[in-house]
Structure 1
């Protein structure tokens, strides 16, 4: 299963033109540390947009410099803004109830995506996440940075996920062709 996830992540990286940075740096003879330069920081990132489109899937992948989580938004294109709030928290508290949800790892990254886990018009589920449970179909065993995943809720147009990571590490958030991408670096010192 992890092989498929890695293969899909590689295809997404290649098709979005994101894999070129590490490859180009190594092609000109720079060190691996230079290829993994991650001046991203660990402060909260926010874009308040609500896409109005439903979440379809969440998947993960690995890179030599970071671990990646991708949120697939059904029907979203590069022209659609996908809102988010991503930041480290002491405890993951379920939106709507405030109930704490245990997440394994040395630090917890709370990710709220401006897309619900259900279709607004039909009310039917578009993503099969269950509160307090690991993300369906996602296995992060063997990852360098990721330790655990937990689905928290879909509340008021946002889907909330807890990502357990090894430690509080630098991360970045960006949108690519209708997908929201969260990368968490393997280290602070830019070495993989």
Structure 2
């Protein structure tokens, strides 16, 4: 019994000594790619567009969320089905307000222009259904603690479509998802 404990202790000490000598000092960062491998892949930074019409439906809110691999931007269009939601999401050099043609400053290393084919006003009465103001930050959206998002701006709502500017850290891959009542834009933290 004493001999097996001695053999076991010697083997443990030998393994620890040889293992430490055999592992180079740079081996510890190898764990980082494993975490990144769990994130979604296959997204691109190319523009994404889908035609659609949301006759009678309108935008009521915009919100954001943080996830392990991406930051999320959500536009709420409560009565629209996924099949109705049309959009255009693309990187632009400058956010140009529609229809004013004025440049709207957006902070960040890159700017995503998000155009939703739904108004931010009631088409029947003309009353605003979303409290965004042209050129201003989006109301109720706080980007503190986000890894990718840097700024949000309301571009305006004109002729049945609404424009947003999303400032991001860099030109990163993104995806667009359509859900009943929501348009979702996810921007990855890394390539």
What TM-score do the two structures reach when normalised by structure 1?
A: 0.79
2:78–2:180 Cα contact (<8 Å) kept? no
Out of 57, 63, 70, the residue aligned to residue 61 of structure 2 is 57
2: CA distance, partners of 1:161 / 1:51: 17
Aligned length: 158
Please report how far the alpha carbon of residue 35 of structure 1 lies from its aligned counterpart in structure 2 after TM superposition: 2.0
1: CA distance, partners of 2:156 / 2:146: 24
Out of 88, 91, 94, the residue aligned to residue 94 of structure 2 is 91
1:38–1:170 Cα contact (<8 Å) kept? no
**Aligned residue for 1:153?**
156
What TM-score do the two structures reach when normalised by structure 2?
A: 0.80
**Higher Rg of the two aligned structures:** 2
* 1:129 correspondence with 2:132: yes
* 1:34 correspondence with 2:37: yes
Out of 74, 78, 83, the residue aligned to residue 74 of structure 1 is 78
SS at match of 1:33: helix
Listed as ranges, the gaps of 5+ residues in structure 1 are 1-30
**Aligned residue for 1:13?**
none
**Aligned residue for 2:187?**
184
Deviations 1:123-143 (A, max 9, x none): 111000000100000011210
Please report how far the alpha carbon of residue 77 of structure 1 lies from its aligned counterpart in structure 2 after TM superposition: 3.5
**Aligned residue for 1:15?**
none
* Superposed counterparts of 1:16-27, under 5 Å: none
Please report how far the alpha carbon of residue 33 of structure 1 lies from its aligned counterpart in structure 2 after TM superposition: 2.1
What CA RMSD, in Å, does the superposition of the two structures yield over aligned residues? 1.3
1:153–1:159 Cα contact (<8 Å) kept? yes
2: CA distance, partners of 1:105 / 1:141: 14
Listed as ranges, the gaps of 5+ residues in structure 2 are 1-33
* Superposed counterparts of 1:163-174, under 5 Å: 163-174=166-177
Out of 106, 110, 120, the residue aligned to residue 109 of structure 2 is 106
